[in-house]
Structure 1
Amino acid sequence: MPTSQRSPAPRRHLPPAARRLACAGASATLVLGLGLAPGTAHADAAVLPTLVTTDGIREHVENLSTIAEYNGGNRATNTPGYDVAADYVVDQLKRAGYRPKRDTYDYEMWQEHSEPVLTQVAPEQREFSPGDDFITMNYSGAGDVTAAGVPVDYDSTDSGCTADDFSGFPDGAVAIVKRGSCTFQAKTANAAEAGAGGIVIVNNVEGPLNGTVGEESAIPSVGATTETGDALVAAGDALEVHLKVDSSVTTRTSYNIIAQTRGGAKDNVVMVGAHLDSVPEGPGMNDNASGVATILETAQQLAKLGKPNNRVRFAFWGTEEQGLIGSTKYVEQLKQRQLDRIALYLNFDMLGSPNYGRFIYDGRGELEGSLPPPSGSGAIQKMFEDYYEKKNLVTEPTEFSGRSDYSAFMAEGIASGGLFSGGDGTKTEQQVEYYGGTAGIDFDPNYHTAQDDIDNINWRSIDELSDGVAYSVETYADSTLPVNGVAPRTFRAQEFAPARVGDLWLK
Structure 2
Amino acid sequence: MLGAGITAAALAACANVPAGPGAAATLDTGAAGAGQADPGLPERLAAAVSADAAYAHLQEFERIADANDGNRAVGTSGYDASLDYVVGELREAGFEVQTPSFDVRTFTSNDARLTVADAPVPTEVLSFSPATPPGGLTAPLSVRARTPQDPTPGCEAEDYAGMPAGAIAVVERGVCPFGQKSQLAGAAGAGAVIIVNTEDAALPATLGDTPEVVPTASVTRSAGEGLQDGQQATLLLDTTIEQQTSRNVIAETTTGDPDRVLVAGAHLDSAPEGAGINDNGSGSAALLEVAQQLGATPPAAQKVRFAWWGAEEIGLVGAARYVEGLSDEDRARIALYLNFDMVASPNPAYLVYDGDDSDGLGGEPGPPGSDTAERVLTEALVAAGVTGPEGTAFDGRSDYGPFIDAGIPAGGLFTGAEEQKTPEQAQKWGGTAGQSFDPCYHTACDRLTNIDRTALDRNLTAMGSAIGRFAVDLSGVPAR
- CA distance 1:220–1:277, shift in 2 (3 Å): same
SS in 2 for 1:481: coil
1:480 and 1:385 mapped to 2: Cα distance?
16
SS in 1 for 2:339: strand
For residue 88 of structure 2, what is the amino acid of its counterpart?
D
For residue 286 of structure 2, what is the amino acid of its counterpart?
T
Q: Does 1:119 align with 2:115?
A: yes
SS in 2 for 1:455: helix
CA drift of 1:90 comes to: 0.6
Residue matched to 2:21: none
Residue matched to 1:87: 84
Q: Does 1:483 align with 2:450?
A: no
2:167 and 2:100 mapped to 1: Cα distance?
44
CA drift of 1:36 comes to: 6.2
Q: Which deviates further from its counterpart, 90-99 or 388-397? A: 388-397
SS in 1 for 2:329: helix
Residue matched to 1:141: 130
2:141 and 2:104 mapped to 1: Cα distance?
34
2:429 and 2:60 mapped to 1: Cα distance?
28
Report if aligned partners of 2:252, 2:296 keep a CA contact under 8 Å in 1.
no
Aligned pairs for 1:341-490 within 5 A: 341-367=333-359, 368-391=361-384, 393-394=386-387, 395-484=389-478
Residue matched to 1:496: none
Larger Rg, first or second structure (1 or 2): 1
The Cα RMSD (Å) is 2.9
Report if aligned partners of 2:125, 2:237 keep a CA contact under 8 Å in 1.
yes
CA drift of 1:354 comes to: 1.3
Question: Once the two structures are superposed, what CA deviation does each residue of 1:102-154 show, in whole Å capped at 9, x if it has no partner?
Answer: 1111122222122x111014xxx221012xxxx22222111143533042654
Residue matched to 1:258: 250
- CA distance 1:281–1:382, shift in 2 (3 Å): same
Which residue among 285, 288, 301 is the counterpart of 1:309? 301
2:194 and 2:315 mapped to 1: Cα distance?
20
2:53 and 2:174 mapped to 1: Cα distance?
45
Residue matched to 1:16: none
Q: Does 1:72 align with 2:69?
A: yes
Question: Once the two structures are superposed, what CA deviation does each residue of 1:79-110 show, in whole Å capped at 9, x if it has no partner?
Answer: 11110110011111111111111111112222
- CA distance 1:181–1:264, shift in 2 (3 Å): closer
Report if aligned partners of 2:386, 2:458 keep a CA contact under 8 Å in 1.
no
Report if aligned partners of 1:166, 1:191 keep a CA contact under 8 Å in 2.
no
CA drift of 1:167 comes to: 6.1
Question: Once the two structures are superposed, what CA deviation does each residue of 1:246-274 show, in whole Å capped at 9, x if it has no partner?
Answer: 00211111110001111211100000001
Q: Does 1:300 align with 2:292?
A: yes
Question: Once the two structures are superposed, what CA deviation does each residue of 1:149-206 show, in whole Å capped at 9, x if it has no partner?
Answer: 0426545767695499566835x54344555697654554455456654333445666
Identity value in percent: 37
1:155 and 1:92 mapped to 2: Cα distance?
50
CA drift of 1:245 comes to: 0.4
CA drift of 1:446 comes to: 1.3
Report if aligned partners of 1:271, 1:314 keep a CA contact under 8 Å in 2.
yes
1:400 and 1:187 mapped to 2: Cα distance?
18
Report if aligned partners of 1:161, 1:182 keep a CA contact under 8 Å in 2.
no
1:397 and 1:181 mapped to 2: Cα distance?
15
Aligned pairs for 1:134-213 within 5 A: 135-143=124-132, 144-151=135-142, 154=145, 161-162=156-157, 165=160, 169-170=164-165, 172-177=166-171, 184-185=178-179, 187-189=181-183, 191-192=185-186, 196-203=190-197, 207=201, 210-213=204-207
- CA distance 1:259–1:230, shift in 2 (3 Å): same
Gaps of 5+ in 2: 1-28
Report if aligned partners of 2:345, 2:451 keep a CA contact under 8 Å in 1.
yes
TM (normalized to structure 1)? 0.79
Report if aligned partners of 1:203, 1:226 keep a CA contact under 8 Å in 2.
yes
CA drift of 1:209 comes to: 5.2
Aligned pairs for 1:38-77 within 5 A: 46-77=43-74
- CA distance 1:194–1:286, shift in 2 (3 Å): closer
CA drift of 1:241 comes to: 1.2
SS in 2 for 1:466: helix
- CA distance 1:174–1:466, shift in 2 (3 Å): closer
For residue 402 of structure 2, what is the amino acid of its counterpart?
A
Residue matched to 1:498: none
For residue 418 of structure 2, what is the amino acid of its counterpart?
D
CA drift of 1:349 comes to: 0.7
- CA distance 1:35–1:102, shift in 2 (3 Å): closer
For residue 372 of structure 1, what is the amino acid of its counterpart?
P
2:478 and 2:95 mapped to 1: Cα distance?
26
1:436 and 1:180 mapped to 2: Cα distance?
28
Which residue among 86, 94, 98 is the counterpart of 1:97? 94
Report if aligned partners of 2:381, 2:459 keep a CA contact under 8 Å in 1.
no
1:187 and 1:306 mapped to 2: Cα distance?
46
Gaps of 5+ in 1: 1-30, 487-507
1:153 and 1:304 mapped to 2: Cα distance?
54
SS in 2 for 1:291: helix
Report if aligned partners of 1:263, 1:308 keep a CA contact under 8 Å in 2.
yes
Q: Which deviates further from its counterpart, 180-189 or 333-342? A: 180-189
- CA distance 1:87–1:213, shift in 2 (3 Å): closer
For residue 139 of structure 2, what is the amino acid of its counterpart?
A
Which residue among 321, 328, 336 is the counterpart of 1:329? 321
2:385 and 2:52 mapped to 1: Cα distance?
23
SS in 2 for 1:46: helix
1:291 and 1:178 mapped to 2: Cα distance?
30
Residue matched to 2:234: 242
- CA distance 1:187–1:312, shift in 2 (3 Å): closer
Report if aligned partners of 2:74, 2:106 keep a CA contact under 8 Å in 1.
no
CA drift of 1:59 comes to: 1.6
Residues matched between the structures, number: 441
Question: Once the two structures are superposed, what CA deviation does each residue of 1:417-454 show, in whole Å capped at 9, x if it has no partner?
Answer: 11122222222232233222222211211111111111
CA drift of 1:225 comes to: 4.0
1:207 and 1:449 mapped to 2: Cα distance?
13
- CA distance 1:468–1:75, shift in 2 (3 Å): same
2:308 and 2:467 mapped to 1: Cα distance?
15
CA drift of 1:405 comes to: 0.6
For residue 129 of structure 2, what is the amino acid of its counterpart?
S
Question: Once the two structures are superposed, what CA deviation does each residue of 1:304-353 show, in whole Å capped at 9, x if it has no partner?
Answer: 76342210000000001111111111111111111100010111111111
SS in 2 for 1:47: helix
